Amino acid sequence: MTDLYYDPYDVGINADPYPVYRRLREEAPLYYNEPHDFYAVSRYDDVERGLKDPATFPSSRGGILELIKSGIEMPPGTLIFEDPPIHTIHRKLLSRVFTPKRVSALEPKIRQFCAHSLDPLVGTGSFDFVADLGAPMPMRVISMLLGIPDSDQEAVRDRVDRNLRTTPGEPMEVSAHFANGEIFADYIDWRAEHPSDDLMTELLNAEFEDENGTVRRLTRDEVLTYTFVVAGAGNETTTRLIGWAGKVLAEHPDQRRELVESPGLIPNAIEELLRFEPPPPHVGRYVAQDVELHGQTVPAGSAMLFLVGSANRDDRRFPEGDRFDIHRKTGGLLTFGYGIHFCLGAALARLEGRIALDEVLKRFPEWEVDYDGAKLAPTSTVRGWETLPVVTPTRN
C-alpha cells in the first residue's frame, strides 16, 4: 500500500506540489485518484504526447476537471474547448487579433502603464507585485486590445476572475454560464454602432467560411463568447506570472542581480519562470477512447489531467528540473500548451512579463517577500499569488 496521494484541490499539496509531482513521475507515471475519479500523467513525454492527440483526448468537453465531469455543452466559439474542424476555423479567426505587429505595437503603452504604476512606489519601502502591477496591468493590456474603457476595466477583471475561482479544497462550481460573455454585451453593442481599431470591431466585421461552407460573419453571441475567452485567458495567468517573478527572484538574489546588471537576460529569465512556476499547473482532457499507458488501460469516458507543472520539471527533459536557472535552455516548455491548442496569446504574455520585470528591476533591484502578508490564490485551475507584498530597501 503506497502513501502517494495527489489531489488538485488539496490546499497543502497546492502550496508546494513539486515533491508530489516528483514522486508521481517516479512511482506512478499513470496515477488514478479514486475520490475525484480522474487519471493523471506527470512525465514530460506523456504530457506532450497527450496534448497533441485531440482524437484520443479531445477538448470539446472542457479543459478543467469540473467541466469534463459535468458533461455540460460548451458554447460555440469557446476556442480553448473545441476540436477540429470547428477549432481550426475559430482559431484562424482569432489569430488575426494576435498578430506579431499588433502585439509589438502594445510595448510602449505597456511600458508607460508600468512606469505610471511603479514610479509612485519608489522610496516607499514596500509594494505588492500583484496588487500594484500584476493584477491591473494584464487587464489594461487586454482592454487595449478589446476596446474596453479605462473606467470599466477593474470591474471586468474582477468578474472574469470570479469565473476561475474555487473554494479552497473544493472543486469549482460549474454553471451553464461559465463561458457566457454577457458582461461584454454593452461594449459589443456600442462597437457595432461606433467601430474602432480594436478586437471587438474586428470580430464584428470579420467574414469567414464556417464548418458548413457558408461565408458569414460571427453572430452576436459568438462575438460575446470570443471576447470572454480572450479576456479570461489573457488576464489571470499573466497576473500569476508576475507574482511568481517576485517570489522566485527574491529567493535567488544572485540571479536577480545578474538581471539588473544584464537586462538582456530578462527574456530567457521569463522563459525559465514560466517553466519553473507555470500559472496553469495542469490541463484536463476527456478520454474519447480506451488508451494504453504504462501497462494500464485508461477507459473511454474518463477524465485525464496532464500535469504541466510536473512535466516542466521532469529531469528527463530538463536536467535538474527543480533548480531555477535563468541561463537554462528552456525550449519545449509546456506552459502554453502544445499542438493545436498552443496559446494564441503566448507572445503577448511573454511581452508583458518581460516589460514588467524590466521596469521593476530598473526601480527595485532588491526586495524581500513579506510572507506574513502573502497569500496564494484560492483556485485549483490557475496557481499563483493573490497578494505578494515585498519590502524594498529605502536609501537616504
pLDDT, one tens digit per residue, over 33-67 is: 999 999 999 999 999 999 999 999 998 888 888 88
Cα separation, 331 vs 343, in Å, equals 15
CATH superfamily label, 11-391: Cytochrome P450 (1.10.630.10)
Could you tell me which residues are beta bridge partners of residue 387? 375
Residue bearing the bigger pLDDT, 304 or 86 = 304
Torsion of CA 130, 135, 136, 141, to 10 degrees: 130
Q: Domain-by-domain residue ranges, the chain? A: 11-391
* Structure letter (DSSP) for residue 370: -
| Residue 75 and residue 60 in contact, taking contact as beta carbons nearer than 8 Å | no
Cα separation, 216 vs 209, in Å, equals 6
Could you tell me which residues are beta bridge partners of residue 303? 286
Does pLDDT of 174 surpass 60? no
Q: What is the pTM of this model?
A: 0.90
Residue bearing the bigger pLDDT, 268 or 210 = 268
Could you tell me which residues are beta bridge partners of residue 284? 305
Q: Which of 152-156, 232-236, 328-332, 352-356 is modeled with the greatest confidence? A: 352-356
Cα separation, 139 vs 110, in Å, equals 11
Helix, strand, coil shares, percent, the chain, to 5: 50, 10, 40
| Residue 390 and residue 367 in contact, taking contact as beta carbons nearer than 8 Å | yes
CA atoms within 13 A on the CB side of 218: 25
Nearest CA to 170 out of 35, 24, 21 is that of: 35
